[in-house]
Amino acid sequence: MAKQTTHQTRPNPEKSPRRQPTASGEKDAAVNRNAGHNYFLLEKFEAGVVLTGTEVKSVRTGKANLKDAYGLVKDDELWLLNCHISPYEHGSYSNHAVLRTRKLLVHKEEIRKLIGKTQQKGLTLIPTRMYLKNGKVKIELALARGKQQWDKRETERRRTADREAREAIARGRKQG
């Protein structure tokens, strides 16, 4: 009878420290910072994106821009327009078009809800961030209403007042 040996297993090693944080899913690939300034973000939801191979590689290196992008419901499908994904630097003749229209993947029920909401006056779909989740590229879309100039000024005033109050409290703690 053969002698049984005990096999010792090592815990899963940490991800390679040399790997980029965007590629490992620790950091967002793209963030639309202007979205919160220019729009009231009412409701957020997640959608998958149909991309080509070179687009995925560019997103992993963080070469995506959501600044002028928006979502559109057309023929019971959700589309992402004006999302800029730079060409992959090691790509060849098969590199992707930079500003092509990309299909978003969501459930039919969500699309039906969005059709009703986006047809309301003043509501639109704005991508707020692009990130990797379990190796797949995802986009966080927000149902948004545009801000007027006075709304933006009011938000800035409120933010400034809050910051000054926090600083005054911190100064009071240091002195006391």
Domain membership of residue 125 (yes or no) is yes
Domain membership of residue 78 (yes or no) is yes
The whole-number pLDDT of residue 139 equals 93
**Count of domains forming the chain:** 1
Torsion-angle region of 10 (φ positive above 0: left; ψ -120 to 50: alpha; else: beta): beta
pLDDT mean over 7-23: 65
Environment class of 140 (CB within 10 Å of its CB; exposed 0-12, middle 13-18, buried 19+) = buried
pLDDT at 46 over 80: yes
Which structural domain, as residue segments, surrounds residue 46? 30-147
pLDDT mean over 16-27: 66
pLDDT band (50, 70, 90) for residue 107: very high
Most confident range (mean pLDDT) of 53-57, 116-120, 137-141 is 137-141
Looking at residue 61, which CATH number applies to its domain? 2.40.280.10
Domain membership of residue 132 (yes or no) is yes
Domain membership of residue 100 (yes or no) is yes
Q: Report in angstroms the alpha-carbon separations of 2 from 5, 7, 69, 89.
A: 9, 15, 66, 56
Residues 131-176 pLDDT 10s? 988 888 999 999 988 888 888 888 889 989 999 999 999 988 888 6
pLDDT band (50, 70, 90) for residue 19: low
The whole-number pLDDT of residue 80 equals 92
Domain membership of residue 101 (yes or no) is yes
Residues 85-103 pLDDT 10s? 888 888 777 788 888 899 9
The whole-number pLDDT of residue 148 equals 82
